[in-house]
Structure 1
Amino acid sequence: MGDPLSILASSTVVPSAAAASPRRRHHHHHHHHHRPSSSSVATTTTTKPKPKHTSKPFTTTSPLLSNVRGDNRENPRYYAELASKLAEDGRFEDFLMIAEIVVVSGLKGKEFLSLLNAKAVSSGITRMLDDGKVKSVVEVILSGFMKLAIDPIQLFDGAAMEALKKECYRVMKFGEVEQTVSLLDTLHGFHFPIRELVEPSDIIKLCISKRNPTAAIRYACMFPHVQILICTIILEFGKKGDLVSALIAFEASKQSLGCPNMHVYRTIIDVCGLCGNYLKSRTIYEELLACKVIPNTHVFNSLMNVNACDLNYTLNIYKKMQELSVTHDIASYNILLKSCCLAANVDLAQDIYREVQCLESKGALKLDVFTYSTMIKVFADAKMWKPALEIKEDMLSAGVTPNTVTWSSLISACASAGLVDQALKLLDEMLQDGGKPNTQCFNNILHACVEACQYDRAFRLFQSWKGGNAAKDVVSELTSQICTTSRSFGLSSSCQSQLTMKVPFRPTTSTYNILMKACGADYYRAKHLMDEMKTLGLSPNHISWSILIDICGSSGNVESAMKILRSMREGGIQPDVVTYTTAIKVCVEHKDMKLAFSLFAEMKKYQIRPNLVTYNTLLRARRRYGSLQEVQKCLAVYQDMRKAGYKPNDYYLKQLIEEWCEGVIQDSSHNKGRFTSRRTEFGPHSLLLEKVAEHLQESNVERLSIDLQGLTKVEARIVVLAVLRMIKEKYSTGDSIKDDMLIILSVQELSACVGKDEIGVKEAVIKLLQYDLGLQVISGGSRIGNNKKSDVENPVGSNLKLEDLKRSGPSPQLESPTRRPVVLQRLMITKESLCHWLQRKMAATIN
């Protein structure tokens, strides 16, 4: 057997553990369980390529394991030199075996570490990392060092750390989230500075892009400022609109942090607002209260801000803060004002504003620019420009400088009222004050011109601001043009001092939409503006297309309006409810109701929900109805409107339905001139339209049964006439009468007296059928209850006189001691009578 030292030190491919094992088993058999198996080491060493460098031969001829436990002080140094050489050659399993032998012999790991050639060991580690063997470095080298109580980071010099950093970025570059986080987690366990290896924001971005909130939270927990990173993670998911992942990260953070963290709760509530799910924010808040944790002011403010669209809920949260003795800051009141603004509640906003002023006078609060700006916007949205200007004076008196939002809201207040000169004056004041107007300020002034119907002025202002290149800011050379324009519009000449100032004006899609409205019925000018918009890289939105469709309609070009609607979809833009409503309005104005209803059906096909304007446009389109199909369509729209939650004004539609129904009588030769309108008897919430819609459905054509229960005399008349007109139109197309017509009036207890209303309805219906239309009417009552068979009071075929009806009520019946029987009051028109009436109507029409 050869010398063990020469075997270990040589670069030939020889299983080193196998060479050392005979002596090891002979001298230290009670330590053999510390040695890796010879097969595994052999596998590693046989696949190791021959090193490119040559090692200096060791001169000693001492056996490898001799005198390990002796007092020879040079042995540890000898083994340290040997181990360093093995590490430099990349033979770390042999290195760890030598280190284990030395440590087991009694030398401490720190002492052995101090004897190693750190540069040689680091060189070997660097080579392995450069070869992409980071897994081996972690699982073999670092783990082995830790078992021997050797701090591995001390064997990583600058080159090794740089190689480790590159390897971490390589793993991250391939998008392997779990592998990257696991690697960093392991390195963190070995006390490596993971913040220096990979930028934390890069790892978080990777987790966000891969939608892996669990890995993101796991990574965040490696840092002492874990709560800040968790808030960042949740917020980044929210910015992506991924509320599900944000909530998963939130739940994982609760386990990591242990106790509720107000920063994290505030962030997840803000994210609920970003993702448009304000109801979820309420659930999170209620869960916090259920844990008997009182949120702080910032959490309450975020909750109110997210739910600002619901004024009642926001006020309840404000009161809850008072109950829990949570301090209100100025942000709390600003959010309340914002909620009032969204709800258009000017009175409440004024009350809150006065309360805040009172608190400021006591030194409890200090109004800021947001308070004043929000209050100005409340008045601006309500078109109350004078109170808005008064708030500006309060603001200046308090020493608060208006910002761009403040000036924009002030200009908007004047613009909504169509006060162009006042809006331009405010713009001039803004420039004097050193403010920098944004595009919204200019758009508001253009909007003021449109509201005041000063269309030419809007275009002149636009051209002067644009200065020949709408894609760039207006620089000082163009300011003189603005000043000239300003003087012509009644402004001061103070803008001459602003010659060196840049006035940023970058037209937006909204700018061109306002100018398109100023085109009136000039389709070609509006189309030119849309083309100019595209050349500047701006994309026309739904409002742009809707305006163009409306202009086509105004010029009478319905066909072009429909082409624009189709071209929108062909261009990848799905028309919205405003676009469809505009197109329907064009069709209605040009009396093309068939096309209007087809567009309405197309909306429903593409699952676009009509709004109140859409419904009203269709329902108010008619001046009269000419056919059953038209009535059925409008009643279907009416019912759809009610189901959608809108409360329509029924009066107009009732008038049209009444006029259509009364046509049954008006076109009768022997009844001309007998009809008198009774429209004033309609109730505000009558069942008339619902009853008419129910009886005019296609499915009811074969079933000639009319239920008049709950209707007034006028309403009952209209329902009966509606069904008769439907029968008449169906008969004219070839449908025959197959059954008698049954009219149900009311259900009454036998012992009860017949009310005046019921008799009035019965009189009105019989008078209509028998005297106005000449139909044969049979009156009957069916007994219901006590398991008795129904009895018909009057024999079939007997004609009723109006005087007899006034004198008589339903026939008396025996009462049950436990349950009173009831009578179903009804009228019947025989099939024969209906046929004779229809034949007379058709003959009269022909004549």
Structure 2
Amino acid sequence: MRVFIILGYTCSSISTPPNPNGNRSTKPYKPPIPKLSPSKSSPPISTLHSRPPPLFAGRWDPNKTHLSYFADLASKLARDGKLQDFAMIVESVVLSGVKGSQFAAALKVEMVAKGISGFLKEGKVRSVVEVLMKVEELGVRPVELFDGYAMELLGRHCRRLLKFKQVQELVELMEILAGLHFPIKELVEPSEVIKICVDKRSPKLAIRYACIFPHAHILFCNIMYEFGKRRALVSALTAYEASKEKLSGSNMYIYRTIIDVCGLCKDYMKSRYIYEDLLQQKVIPNIYVFNSLMNVNSHDLSYTFHVYKSMQNLGVAADLACYNILLKACCLAGRVDLAQDIYREVQHLESTGVLKLDVFTYSTIVKVFSDAKMWHMALNVKEDMLSAGVMPNTVTWSSLISACANAGLVDKAIQLFEEMLLASCEPNSQCFNILLHACVEACQYDRAFRLFHSFKSNKVQETFGKNYKGLSFKPTTTTYNTLMKACGSDYYHAKALMDEMKTEGLFPNQISWSILADICGSSGNVEGALQILNSMRVAGIQPDVVAYTTAIKICVESENLDLALSLFAEMKRYQIHPNLVTYNTLLRARSRYGSVSEVQQCLAIYQDMRKAGYKPNDYYLEQLIEEWCEGVIQDSSPNQGEFSSWDKADIGRPGSLLLEKVAEHLQQHIADTLAVDLQGLTKVEARIVVLAVLRMIKENYTLGDSIKDDMLIMVGVHNEVDGGSMAHNLEVKDAITKLLQDELGLKVLATGPKIPLDTTIESERPVDSDQNLEKSLGRRNELPSELIYSTRRPVVLERLKVSRKSLQQWLRKRSARRR
């Protein structure tokens, strides 16, 4: 007998065995649609119908032919591309009482896989996934329906999504396949997926993908590191926070990686915050986390040793890498003494069998001595290495040669180079360059060129004997830069070397152009040197701070300071940050100052230098400004010499208050108020500030500016009971009074009333002078705390006043004297 079974939208006339109960089932059904996000690459498939009733009302008898019959039927439907019908057969059989695993074992996998492969070839991945999700709910493992070819087609689709960077769809598909227990790691390389997520700046998508895998902590580390290489610290930290939420327990790999990433992104403080957060959570880092933290902060010697001491206190034993990092920190800080102590400690540990020093340890300590020009100590370390059976490598030999080169021992450096060849250690380009640099630093220019030509023509055996043949030498840009320095003032020879560099396939860098400009400038051709800056831009190289500093130095040496200042302004416009050499070159450009504008220019550079974090030599600048200020006094009296001979030990204190005060009082708006604040200054510094203001007044007067107000000088604010402060202020007050009256002939009035709390400042000055003083001191909430918050003690404001009339008389006398 024939019956019709409606399967989806497909009507098939097939033979079936009779139902044991004699019933027929012809009612169509609609299975639910699996939840799957829409895909742009696959069109929607026919909707599956709801769940059907069982094919048999009675209990399924596996001993009968029903199981094999329906397994064969389902396999054929799948093979013919009717995956929806295949899913309905599976569901009907399972609802009739057969286990999904039992029915799957009866299926013909090669036929099912062939149907799945057909869909995958046509790109209907979504249709396949929907069916797989359906049968997985019924207890059939979807991965068992795939053969090798079908799995390869699925992998191809995943790799295609990866190739076209459709990472959103890929991650969604991976999440579904992982839930279906597919070996997703074999479908596509996880690191490649993470790289695409990182390229798209999508940390959340990368986190979703990592959470699929059982080894998620490794992938989280990969995510953070990839973002770190792209200097995207915020995204790396997003992955770090997600790892703490998704992973259970404290994972030291995660902590170590995020600290390393902070180092890559130059955010050293963040690495410290992470470490402090671990300690607050009562998590003790292991030695690898400590080593990463110390290595990232190795530029800060004090913090590195602080971490080392904390590690010891927490009971974490140091390993060889830890000591190597400590030596590195000492090397960066130039602390030879500490490096020697650490070296002696690790030697002791080696003698007791706790550690075994490696070539990195020896090479680091050699570099410490090399940078300090302690070549004897560096050679002693080499002997220690050989005694311990550790053979120096190329880095070690380079540091040894550099130690002698830094000390100017060219012959010794060449001797070490020969020993390196005898030890069958092939030198690299750095070794050759160090030898050339040693010759140049010792002004042995001809020897440098002879070595270069012997290296280049592979005739090393003619120079060093036949102990080593076949030496391969390939010049680098550094090689040619070193030789250009050996040209002295021969511009054309240096230019020829730059052209030869190009024929060798090398490209001149900023240093090459800077050397060429310096050579050009040393021959007196300032215009040609500046033209080189333009040539750099034409060559596609943006001049850097070295190039600009070189050009500024050339201008300063040719006494063209205006041009040097214009170059300084230009580099600031291009957002090129000056370095210490740039600032010092400009600050030392003048041996004396002639006008207020020159001093203001200099002080502006000085303040910019301080803001940039550099520590200038304040004493040199203070001497020049003092000399300029003393120029106010003409036909100096004998007393002037007595005053100038005072002890000036206080000048040049850290963060020179004197220079800041001079800079503040030489601003243009101060010329209108004529209020001078000497608080916190010594009597010598106070003298310089007052003279600076008077010189500015005098220069403005010669330009036609009249004196409109009295000159008010505030010496200090103190409590009456503070005897030390009072004595100091009186000393400054007497010194300034003597300067103004005895040396300059000005009339000085002293005024210093007691000022109780919440009372107005009263004095015998004109009203407009009080207003100017208020401008100088600021509003009430900006007054010194002693003046505002003292509730029991009155304070004394020590002030001096030079009247407008006295200033005018003094200026007229100066003008008449010049005439």
Query: Match of 2:697?
Result: 727
Aligned residue type for 2:749: S
Q: After the TM superposition, which residues 326-345 of structure 1 pair with which residues of structure 2 at under 5 Å, given as runs?
A: 326-345=316-335
Instruction: Note if 1:524 corresponds to 2:492.
Output: yes
SS in 1 for 2:801: strand
Give the CA deviation at 1:418. 1.5
Kindly indicate whether the alpha-carbon contact (under 8 Å) linking 2:6 and 2:27 is maintained by their aligned counterparts in 1. Answer: no
Aligned-partner Cα distance in 1 for 2:686–2:281: 60
Within the candidate set 177, 183, 189, 2:179 is matched to 189
Letter in 2 for 1:549: A
Match of 2:463 in 1: 485
Q: 1:610 aligns with which of 562, 573, 578?
A: 578
Residue identity over aligned pairs, in percent, reads 59
**Preserved contact between residue 782 and residue 790 of structure 1 (Cα < 8 Å):** no
Q: Of the candidates 657, 676, 681, which is equivalent to residue 646 of structure 2?
A: 681
Mapping of residues 411-490 of structure 1, within 5 Å = 411-467=401-457, 478=458, 481-486=459-464
1:7-156 matches, within 5 Å, as: 15-16=10-11, 27=23, 73-140=64-131, 142-156=132-146
Distance 1:732 1:637 in 2: 26
User: How far apart are residue 662 of structure 1 and its match?
Assistant: 3.3
Q: Give 1:646 deviation, angstroms.
A: 4.0
CA distance in 2, matches of 1:18, 1:182: 39
- 1:407 deviates by 0.5
CA RMSD of aligned residues (A): 3.8
Match of 2:162 in 1: 172
Aligned twin of 1:827: 801
Contact 1:411 1:426 in 2 (8 A): yes
SS at match of 2:462: helix
Q: Give yes or no for the alignment of 1:779 onto 2:779.
A: no
Shift of 1:157: 2.3
- SS, match of residue 413 in structure 1: helix
Query: How far off is 1:373 after superposition?
Result: 0.8
Structure 1 Cα separation of the partners of residues 549 and 629 of structure 2: 29
The one-letter code of the counterpart of 1:207 is C
Alignment partners' CA distance in 2, 1:99 and 1:83: 7
Give the whole-Å Cα distance in 1 for the aligned partners of 2:546 and 2:418: 36
**SS of equivalent residue, structure 1 residue 16:** strand
Change (3 A) 1:272 1:31: farther
CA positional deviation for 1:395: 0.6
Q: In 2, distance between residues paired with 1:841 and 1:120?
A: 113
1:510 to 475, 478, 498: 478
1:237 corresponds to which residue?
227
SS at match of 1:400: coil
1:206 corresponding residue in structure 2: 196
Change (3 A) 1:237 1:821: closer
Deviation at 1:404, TM superposition (A): 0.9
5+ residue gaps, structure 2: 34-43, 49-53, 652-656, 767-790
Larger radius of gyration: 1
Retained in 1: the 8 A contact 2:740–2:748? no
> Is residue 811 of structure 2 the alignment partner of residue 838 of structure 1?
yes
1:46: Cα distance to partner?
A: 12
**Aligned residue for 2:709?**
739
C-alpha displacement of 1:310 = 1.6
Aligned amino acid, residue 11 of structure 2 = S
Shift of 1:567: 4.1
User: 1:547-558, aligned counterparts within 5 Å?
Assistant: 547-558=515-526
Is the CA contact 2:2–2:13 (under 8 Å) kept in the aligned structure 1? no
Can you list the C-alpha shifts for 1:683-716, whole angstroms capped at 9, x where unaligned?
2334543443332221112223334455555544
Q: Secondary structure at the match of 1:163?
A: helix
Shift, 1:632, TM fit:
1.7
- Once the two structures are superposed, what CA deviation does each residue of 1:495-523 show, in whole Å capped at 9, x if it has no partner? x1322x4x342322222222222222222
- What letter is aligned with 1:835? Q
Provide Cα deviations, 1:739-785, integer angstroms capped at 9, x if missing partner: 3334445568889999887676566555554555454x142425242
Counterpart amino acid of residue 808 in structure 2: C
Which whole-Å CA distance do the structure 1 matches of 2:203 and 2:258 have between them? Answer: 13
Tell me, in whole angstroms, the C-alpha distance in 1 between the residues paired with 2:731 and 2:279.
61
**Do the aligned partners of 1:238 and 1:271 also contact (CA within 8 Å) in 2?**
yes
Cα deviations by residue, 1:301-338 (Å, 9 ceiling, x for unpaired): 22222221122222122222222222222222111111
Give the secondary-structure state (helix, strand or coil) at the position aligned to 1:521. coil
Secondary structure, counterpart of 1:299 in structure 2: helix
Give 1:386 deviation, angstroms. Answer: 0.8
Q: CA deviation at 1:531?
A: 3.2
- Aligned partner of 1:694 in structure 2 is 664
The alpha carbon displacement at 1:382 in A equals: 0.4
Deviations 1:803-833 (A, max 9, x none): xxxxxxxxxxxxxx965574644232333x4
Query: How many residues matched?
Result: 768
Amino acid at match of 2:387: S
| Structure 2 counterparts to residues 333-372 of structure 1, below 5 A | 333-372=323-362
Show structure 1 runs of 5+ residues with no match: 38-42, 48-63, 468-477, 487-492, 795-816
Does the aligned pair in 2 maintain the 1:746–1:824 contact within 8 Å? yes
Contact 1:282 1:303 in 2 (8 A): yes
Distance 1:279 1:714 in 2: 41
Question: For residue 470 of structure 1, what is the aligned residue in structure 2?
Answer: none
**Does the aligned pair in 2 maintain the 1:231–1:264 contact within 8 Å?**
yes
SS of residue in 2 equivalent to 1:827: strand
Shift in CA distance, 96/718, structure 1 to aligned 2, threshold 3 Å: closer
Offset at 1:344? 0.8
1:797 matched residue in structure 2: none
Q: Distance in 1 between matches of 2:103 and 2:719?
A: 109
The C-alpha deviation readout for 1:547-593, integer Å capped at 9, x for no partner, is 23322321222222222334445655444433333222222111111
Q: Quick one: distance in 2 between partners of 1:826 and 1:344? A: 50
> Partner residue of 2:620?
652
AA of the residue aligned to 1:528: A
Q: State the alpha-carbon separation in 2 of the partners of residues 166 and 255 from structure 1.
A: 33
Aligned CA distance change for structure 1 residues 27 and 447 (closer, same or farther; 3 Å)? same
Question: In 1, are the aligned partners of 2:729 and 2:798 still within 8 Å (CA)?
Answer: no
Q: What is the identity, as a one-letter code, of the residue corresponding to 2:689?
A: V
* DSSP-derived class of the 2:337 partner: helix
| Secondary structure at 1:681 match in 2 | coil
Q: Structure 2 counterpart of 1:738, which letter?
A: K
Partner of 1:375: 365
In structure 1, the residue corresponding to 2:751 is in which secondary structure?
A: strand
Shift of 1:396: 0.5
The letter of the residue matching 1:726 is M
The answer as to whether partners of 1:784 and 1:824 remain within 8 angstroms in 2 is no
- In 1, distance between residues paired with 2:488 and 2:243? 58
Contact 1:650 1:684 in 2 (8 A): no
Secondary structure (helix, strand or coil) at the match of 2:753 reads strand
Q: Give 3-state SS (helix, strand or coil) of 2:201's partner.
A: coil
**Contact 2:6–2:26 (CA under 8 A) maintained in structure 1:** no
Deviation at 1:346, TM superposition (A): 0.5
Tell me by how many angstroms 1:842 deviates.
Answer: 3.4
Preserved contact between residue 334 and residue 374 of structure 1 (Cα < 8 Å): yes
- The amino acid that maps onto 2:192 is D
Cα drift, residue 78 of structure 1: 4.0
Give 2:463's aligned amino acid: T
**1:184-209 Cα deviation digits (max 9, x unpaired):** 23223323222332233333333333
Maintained 8 Å contact 1:549/1:582? yes
Distance 1:216 1:840, change over 3 A: closer
Does residue 289 of the first structure (1) align with residue 279 of the second (2)? yes
